[in-house]
Structure 1
Amino acid sequence: MNHWPSATALEQAAEVLVRFQRLGLCIATAESCTGGLVSAALTAVPGSSSTLLAGFVTYSNEAKESMLGVPASVLAEFGAVSEAVARAMAEGALDRSSADVSVAITGIAGPGGATADKPVGLVHFAAAKRGGDTVARHHVFAGDRDAVRSASLVEALNLLLEAAKA
């Protein structure tokens, strides 16, 4: 198993925190397949408590509904690993915190859980900004569970950097 977070992720997390602190913005995370890795990377950096306000680990559909307000109908129609759910997770994290920006991650890290249209490595991301638009993207990452989760961490931190620019 890899050691979390990697030195590269720590450097990237530090860059996220510096940018958000300079802008006076705060962050909330909503994580499923990463199980809190984004929050872990951010909190590994000294001084993160002034910027990271909340971290939601919502691995189950029930947690997505109860903690983030993801509608059961959205989960039923699109499935937990979908753009619609990632968007709802990001928006729910803002609704349930006083953060300015949130990032959400939901995916299939493997080795099981795949379907014909949702392969192992498929991860959906969304970032929501208070008073702004929610942006979403997805990737299909290669490799084992650790590789998918590690790549998802990096992508989520990139999405936070982009959200801070918008």
Structure 2
Amino acid sequence: MFWTILSIFAAQRLFELAVAKFNEKNALKEGAVEYGRRHYPYIVAMHVLFFICLIWETIAFQRGPLPMALVVLTGLIFTQALRYWALFSLGRCWNTKILVIPGTNLVRKGPYQWFKHPNYVAVALEFLLLPLLFQAYATALLFTVLNAAVMYIRIRTEEQALEKLHH
């Protein structure tokens, strides 16, 4: 079960990176301005280290799935639904980088009609729920804290970028 679920999440990340690269090329052609270049490598490193730590802790301690695995797995499914609802709502504007195309309007459909950063909420829940599913408690705690710190910087940068170009 572990390797199957891990493979699904890893494949999702690779798919998302391909979509992001495609969207980045098109956004740059439309005059997009990139923000947050300095912190972006840390986000990438954090995601890679998350998977490494999850694998290591799961193998090292062999705790197996959480007794309430079905509840956590259901939470992960809803998290993925939120993640892809956010991705499809942003469409060509979705990216892993902060790319702002001058003159475009903020997306206010899908989950964005209710709150500003649904994809970041989904990532935060993944960093908590995926390790909990396999009782990788140290990974869940460490990456929940690291993600909160990185998202604090990321969201501030994104808000400032959007403010500059849309006002």
Which gives a bigger RCO, structure 1 or 2 (Cα 8 Å, sep 6+)?
Answer: 2
Which of the two has greater strand per residue?
1
Shared fold per TM-score greater than 0.5:
no
Question: What's the TM-score once normalised by structure 2's chain length?
Answer: 0.24
Q: Look at both structures and tell me which one has the larger radius of gyration over its CA atoms.
A: 2
Question: What's the TM-score once normalised by structure 1's chain length?
Answer: 0.24
Which of the two has greater helix per residue?
2
